[in-house]
Amino acid sequence: MKVDVFIEKGLDGTYDVHMGEQTKGLTFGLLGQGDTVQEAINDFYNSRDEIKTYYKEVGKPFPEDLKFVFKYDTASFLAYYSNVLSLAGLGRLTGIAQGQLSHYVTGRRKPSQKTVQKIEKSLHKFADEISQVQLV
């Protein structure tokens, strides 16, 4: 069973990881928080482990086939991958000014849906190109 999980950067600079509203009949929700994306994801998995243990203690079944599909808001994605993708490089890749991307990372501005789609499409195209690379 696949469940959408959203990673969002808060106004205070911390990250939240939470299950979407469409939980496909699950009787629990999970939340993780942290100063970094990875801390929040780790806390999210810790929450999963805690509820799994609790369900075992009270004799409730826990779905063993539970898989999470992590989805980032734009600010969280840019911040998380900033050690791999520079804003200058991402600007060249997407055609969006580096300064504008910086505003998205800091939360000073939120990108429009059209801009989010432009970034996502550019990243997917780049990933497709990279997946074809063969080094000799």
- Sequence spans of domains, the chain: 2-72, 74-131
| Cα dist from 43 to 77, 78, 126, whole Å | 18, 20, 31
Answer whether 75's CB lies under 8 Å from 100's CB: no
Task: List pLDDT tens digits, range 75-96.
Answer: 888 888 888 889 999 999 999 9
Task: List pLDDT tens digits, range 107-127.
Answer: 889 899 999 999 999 999 999
Question: What confidence tier does 52 reach under pLDDT thresholds 50, 70, 90?
Answer: very high
What global pTM score does this model have? 0.79
Which residues, at least 6 apart from 116, have a Cβ–Cβ distance to it below 8 Å? Answer: 74
Strand order, beta sheet including 2-9: 31-34, 15-19, 2-9, 67-72
Query: 2-72: what fold?
Result: Double Stranded RNA Binding Domain (3.30.160)
The second-level CATH assignment, the architecture, of 74-131 is Orthogonal Bundle (1.10)
